[in-house]
Amino acid sequence: MDWKNKLWVRILAVIVFLLMLVGAALSAAGLWLCVETHVYSDGGAYLRQEALYTLACRMDSTVESYYYDSQNGFDAYGREHWEQVFSPENTNFFFRLKDADGKVVLSSAARPSQYHASGELDIPGHEMKVLDAEFSSAAQRQVRVEELNKSAWRIYNVDQWEDTDESGKTVYHLSVDYSDEPPLTIERYIAKDFTARDEISFFMGWVDRLIGARNALPWLTGVFSVLALAALVFLLILSARRKPGWLEKIPLDVLVFLYVCLVGITFDILEELAYGEWIEFILIGLMGLVWMFLILRFVVSIAIRARAGTLWKNNVIYHILKLLWRFCKWFWAALKDLARSLPLFWRTAVIWIALCFCEFIGLAMFGFNGERLLFCWFLEKLVLTPLLFFAVLSMQRLQKGARRIAEQGPGEPVDLTHMYGAFREHGEYLNHISDGLQAAVEEGVRSERMKAELITNVSHDIKTPLTSIVNYVDLLEKEELENEKAKSYVEVLSRQAARLKKLTEDLVEASKASTGNIAVNFAPTDLNVLLGQAAGEFADRFRQKELELVLSTAPEQPVIRADGQLLWRVFSNLMTNIVKYAMPGTRVYLSTAVKDGKAAVTFRNISAAPLEKSGAELSERFVRGDASRTGGDGSGLGLSIAQSLTELQGGAFRITVDGDLFKAELTFPTEKS
């Protein structure tokens, strides 16, 4: 919605909000005033009375000035001026000033027939505001006395000057000069029908309006408040759509502190103002306006923070608490670690002593009312403590034995001397477990050794006669055989002997690889280099089969942790397969790649014969891609050996067949440099 972002919409919303706020404030103030002055119970009589009295009292200072002038022979303003001021045309106020004897000293020119009498009210005495100064004790006392005596109006003059004493300190002098005249009494009257348009009639008009509107005030307050709130919510919604700005970067508690400082400064300024000058009223108004915006901005900032979820997080206090929490957690973990690293004996000792201490304190505080109880407690501990420590020591020995079995395997049995009951039973079970484990381990070692020996022996025992067969077939081939049939038989013998040789070698290697009976010398190995070396070794054989080699190596060095010799056997088996089974005239793709901390080598070629087996089946033992193919010197073990050797070095071996595309992929975790 486009209009929501327009500037004038926002300004309008702010103005409406401010107006509604002022309305709500005014009506709430009126409501408060009405409730305070019991308007709802007496129909406004008391409020009117109070208002009239206050308005009448406000004229006292004018009467005072009139009285001074009359005492001094009207040399300041003149009698006509005062009569004009207090004429019924200009004011609704009338007065009579009486002395102690009840004689009228001064009064308004006329008195209306109908008036509100304010009664025999005393004119309150002056409140003296004295600067922070040094007074002689007598003067101070006199001022105090005068201040307390507020019931009567006394005329006095205050004179004040400053001076410097011998020590260079500024001293303030104050002299109060009292007139001997007795106190005067003022009688105030206000015309009932407000013949003149003055301050009194103006204010009383507003008072009457307020009383008249007393029933509407609660509604007005409510409506204004709701409207102000609605405007505020609208503003907040508009503003909260904003992204957090520089103000939201300031931690909230720092911002609150800044605002509190600003409030302090504002009050300081307000105190400095003398009130009365127009310019100061404007200043106060401006400050109010500024504050309005400041508060509004603060609320908006809160809304933005709440929306961004940083209301609580972006606080200095939050960070401090978080740090404190972390420290507490760390401390707790360290404490736990310490407790755990402490041997069982000492742990128990600490807890036991602490428990005894607590019990003792508890006894001393609550039940320590007899030596017999203390004696019993002491006796109990005397019996329990050795028992407990005996149990703990037994437990610790059992634990030590169990840990030795768990960490180092079975060995010498757990020592069961001086162990009784359940502990002894437990220890015997432990020793049973240890014995069983010992037997199993020995059995495992023996079977492993037998397996290794079997492989070596079979290998040797087969190879020795095979050597003779190969050699004598070779010799036979060199003999001059006249019989053509015999020649072809020898040729079959030669071929099958070679195949048997290859099969034996592969079989031994396959069994070694799958049982892990091969020493793996791990070293950093560069797959790019290895693939290049392998490709070079096979280059001539590839050319003979008219296979085009496409080599692509990863730009980053794919260095893995592997045994180069074993890995070469894997590569060699895969490339031999390719030479054997790839369709002549096709391309063979060899590539390395590094991705997500893993290095991969991929061999891809097009099979000459259709592949009838899945990738997983192909890497099983004695399985060949083409069932029909029985000739050649393949043992069907090449891929199985490659897979075993790859897995032995911590790699993954995967073969996928997609139509005629044969793909072998090796993945290894890359070496961390």
Partner 1 sequence: MYNILVCDDEKDIVSALKIYLSSGDYQVFEAYNGREALSVLAREDIHLVLLDIMMPGMDGIETLTRLRENSNVPVILLTAKSEDTDKVLGLDVGADDYITKPFNPVEVLARVKSQLRRYLQLGGGAVQPKQLRIGGVELDDAAKTVTVDGEAVNLTPKEYDILRLLMQHPGQVFSPKEIYRAVWDELPLNADNAIAVHIRHIREKIEIDPADPRYLVVVWGKGYKMMPQKGD
Binding region for partner 1 (CB under 8 A): 456, 459-460, 463-464, 466-472, 474-475, 501, 505, 519, 523-537, 539-540, 549, 551, 553, 562, 564-565, 567-568
Residue with smaller CB distance to partner 1, 307 or 502: 502
- In the complex, least distance from residue 452 CB atom to partner 1, rounded to whole angstroms: 11
Closer Cβ to partner 1, 160 or 467, answer by number: 467
As separate numbers, helices (DSSP H) first and strands (DSSP E) second, the chain gives 20, 13
C-alpha–C-alpha distance, residues 666 and 655, integer Å: 9
Are 316 and 250 contacting, i.e. CB atoms less than 8 angstroms apart?
no
The residues pairing with 599 across neighbouring beta strands, listed in sequence order, are: 594, 668
- For the CA atoms of 616, 618, 620, 626, the dihedral, rounded to the nearest 10 degrees, stands at 150
Q: For the packed helices 421-478 and 484-515, what is the interaxial angle rounded to 10 degrees?
A: 160
Tokens of 355: 């428990």
93-98 and 104-107 beta bridge pairing: antiparallel
CB 519, min distance to partner 1, A: 7
Residues 558 and 593 sit within 8 Å (Cβ to Cβ):
yes
| CA-CA-CA-CA torsion sign (228, 231, 237, 240) | negative
Residue at token pair 């428990």: 355
Please report how close the Cβ of residue 315 comes to partner 1 at its closest, in angstroms: 57
Closest distance to partner 1 from the beta carbon of 525 (Å): 3
Smallest distance, partner 1 to C-beta of residue 471, A: 4
Structure tokens at 350: 């600490």
- CA–CA dist 441, 408 (Å, integer): 12
Rounded to the nearest whole angstrom, what is the least distance from the CB of residue 568 to partner 1 in the complex?
A: 4
Question: Tokens for 371?
Answer: 């030596």
Helix axes 278-308, 252-272, angle to 10 degrees: 170
Q: Which is nearer to partner 1, 468 or 488 (CB)?
A: 468
Q: In angstroms, give the least distance from the CB of 643 to partner 1.
A: 19
User: CB within 8 A of 603, min separation 6: which ones?
Assistant: 574, 575, 578, 588, 589, 590, 663, 664, 665
Q: Residue 279 or residue 519: which is nearer to partner 1 going by CB?
A: 519
Closest to partner 1 by CB, 71 vs 456, is 456
For residues 487 and 492, what is the distance between their CA atoms, to the nearest angstrom? Answer: 9
Token pair of 446 as six digits: 């023996």
Q: How far is the CB of 629 from partner 1 (least distance, A)?
A: 24
Nearest approach, Cβ of 467 to partner 1 (angstroms)? 4
Q: Please say which residue, 405 or 637, places its beta carbon nearer to partner 1.
A: 637
Give the Cα-Cα-Cα angle 489, 495, 500 (nearest 5 degrees): 120
Nearer to partner 1, 42 or 477 (CB): 477
Measured distance between the N- and C-terminal CA atoms of the chain, rounded to whole angstroms: 56
Cβ atoms of residues 557 and 578 within 8 Å = no
573 exposed, middle or buried (CB, 10 Å; 0-12, 13-18, 19+)? buried
Please say which residue, 523 or 661, places its beta carbon nearer to partner 1: 523
Q: What are phi and psi of 529, to 5 degrees?
A: -65, -45
Q: How far is the CB of 537 from partner 1 (least distance, A)?
A: 5
**Minimal distance in Å, beta carbon 535 to partner 1?**
5
Task: Please say which residue, 418 or 449, places its beta carbon nearer to partner 1.
Answer: 449
In angstroms, rounded to a whole number, what is the distance separating the alpha carbons of residues 236 and 250? Answer: 19
d(CA 489, CA 483): 10
Q: For partner 1, which is the closer residue by CB, 301 or 528?
A: 528
Tokens of residue 603, six digits: 């061999």
Three-state secondary structure readout of 95-120? EEEECCCCCEEEECCCCCCCEEEEEE
- What is the distance between the alpha carbons of residues 188 and 53, in angstroms, rounded to a whole number? 9
Dihedral, CA of residue 265, residue 266, residue 269 and residue 274, to nearest 10: -160
Q: Which is nearer to partner 1, 20 or 531 (CB)?
A: 531
Question: Least separation, in Å, of the C-beta of 473 and partner 1?
Answer: 10
What is the distance between the alpha carbons of residues 462 and 511, in angstroms, rounded to a whole number?
15
C-beta of residue 548 within 8 angstroms of C-beta of residue 588? yes
Q: Min. distance of Cβ 639 from partner 1 in angstroms?
A: 20
With respect to partner 1, which residue has the nearer C-beta, 61 or 552?
552
Smallest distance from partner 1 to CB 625, Å = 25
Mode of pairing for the β-strands spanning 170-178 and 104-107: unpaired
Q: Give strand ranges (E) for 15-114.
A: 93-98, 104-107
Residue 345 or 472 with smaller CB distance to partner 1: 472
Least distance in angstroms from the C-beta of 627 to partner 1: 30
> Which residue, 232 or 508, has its beta carbon nearer to partner 1?
508
Nearer to partner 1, 19 or 529 (CB): 529
